[in-house]
Chain A
Amino acid sequence: MHTAAGSQARLPIRSDMDLVWVRQHVRQAAAQLGFGLVDQTKLVTAASELARNTLVYGGGGTMETEQLVEGTTHGLRLTFSDEGPGIPDLEQALSDGFTSGDGLGMGLGGARRLVHEFGIESAPGSGTTVRVTSWVGRPPRPREES
């Protein structure tokens, strides 16, 4: 469907300082690929939410970025993985307002609305991997009625 093109990077997520680094890296990568300001901001915000989840709930992990090409459009894929306790109930975790910590509970569900493609794999005890992808110039995903 699409091919990986160009640079890949792998960033550690171990502390608050790493979150700053993740945001800056994603912003740079997105700007380089030609994402508009709004899409850059969305992707950076999604990355910020997911990286914080990796840090706070997963006990730290990594973010991998990958540049994609599909036809003539470019995309950016971010993969956040941790080896934390995992998520027992994905549906619940994705619903707005649910949190197992003291946050607002908007992170996971909000991040899903900010990107074009969203995938999550998790099971109790085996860590969590969240993969998000956004494409340059593609209109936002229609809002799912729920």
Chain B
Amino acid sequence: MPEQAEGTAGVPTREVRDLLRRRREQIAQRWADEPLFRAVFTVSRDEAVEAGKAVVDALAQVADAARVEDPDAAGFTAVREQLARMGAARSRSGLSTAQVSSELAALRPPVENLLVADLPEDTSAEHVRDCVSTLSVLMGTLRVVVMQTALSEGQALIDRQRLQLLEVATPVIKLWDGIVAVPLIGTLDSARSQVVMETLLESIVEQQARYAILDITGVPTVDSLVAQHLMKTVAAARLMGAECIVSGIRPAIAQTMVHLGLDLGTVVTRASLADALGYVLHQLGVGIVTPGTNGAVAR
């Protein structure tokens, strides 16, 4: 493609740009009937046409800047968000990446037909080929833009959710004066058990807790690393003057721990959170009184 930068009439990128500008309306109309636009803009066809026009304008701008191969071209900026929304909407409705990609590929033939039809009849076959291939490259770049935004959206979502999980997993609950409990849920890997330990130690100080209950009902697998994390947490709490009770040890977990050879040693353990609370209240000398028993201490 010689003299592309000068933009002489007849250069493929110019040809494509002019076509996009000239046929803006028709292209948008045809795209509105393609599955991609039809499925995303379900409310009105006009909306789909408007969205299509925005994409055509962006493509024309990219072609004008002669950057058909550059997914970071400035022309895409205006429609990047819209394209991301469209890609995301299609993925959400259950399409695989490959399917979304082929729906995007389906946008090319209508434009290509218009391009070939608009070229003068005496155009050399070579020039037709050049124009068509330039258009292909441009549409390919559009596909890359959509995939890129979709992927980075996905990554951002994963990162956000990971942070959310770290927070969600570690609420420290005050059960009574001087008693806090942490219901542990899910996988206790090193990062999460670090967060658990920190929040627990902080709340021991805050609540002036003398007892802390670690409930592992929601931990599906207790292996040696999880046990090690638990024991470290217990030891740290003990250094701060709080006694830890590990509760929620299910029968299957108990048997597995015995076979594995894990010994929680001096840590007080209980089968359920209720048992642990009962134990701690007893230690604190707090009795639970059932109404109607004339104030007799039940436990």
Contacts and interface: CB of A to CB of B under 8 A. Distances in A.
Nearest to B253: A41
A104 B261 CA distance: 10
A140 interface: yes
B297 interface: no
Given A106-B261, A110-B261, A52 B225 contact: yes
Given A20-B187, A44-B221, A45-B223, A106 B255 contact: no
A16 B252 contact: no
Given A49-B223, A104-B227, A110 B262 contact: yes
B259 interface: yes
A143 B84 CA distance: 59
A45 B261 contact: no
B144 to A, nearest CB: 27
A129 interface: no
B221 A113 contact: no
Interface string A93-112: 00010000001101101110
Interface residues on B, range: 20 to 34
A77 interface: no
Contact of B260 (A23, A37, A103, A106): A106
Contacts of A103: 224-225, 228
Interface residues on A, range: 20 to 34
Contacts of A42: 252, 255-256, 259
B226 to A, nearest CB: 8
B221 A104 contact: no
Interface hub of B220, B221, B223, B251 (most chain A Cβ within 10 A)? B223
Contact of B261 (A19, A20, A37, A96): A96
B206 interface: no
Do most interface residues of chain B lie in helix, strand or loop, or is the interface mixed? helix
Closest 8 CB pairs of A and B: A110-B260, A41-B252, A106-B224, A48-B223, A38-B252, A104-B224, A113-B259, A37-B252
Contact of A114 (B187, B190, B259): B259
A16 B224 contact: no
A48 B228 CA distance: 14
Interface in A88-141: 96, 103-104, 106-107, 109-111, 113-114, 140
Interface of A: 16, 19-20, 23, 27, 37-38, 40-42, 44-45, 48-49, 52, 96, 103-104, 106-107, 109-111, 113-114, 140
B228 A113 contact: no
Nearest to A40: B252
Contacts of B189: 16, 19-20
5 contacts: A45-B221, A104-B262, A106-B224, A113-B261, A114-B260
A114 B220 contact: no
A45 B228 contact: no
Contacts of B221: 23, 41, 44-45, 48
A27 B187 CA distance: 14
B68 interface: no
B259 A110 contact: yes
Nearest to B252: A41
A98 to B, nearest CB: 12
A23 B186 CA distance: 12
B66 interface: no
B197 interface: no
A20 B220 CA distance: 11
A83 B253 CA distance: 32
Interface in B58-110: none
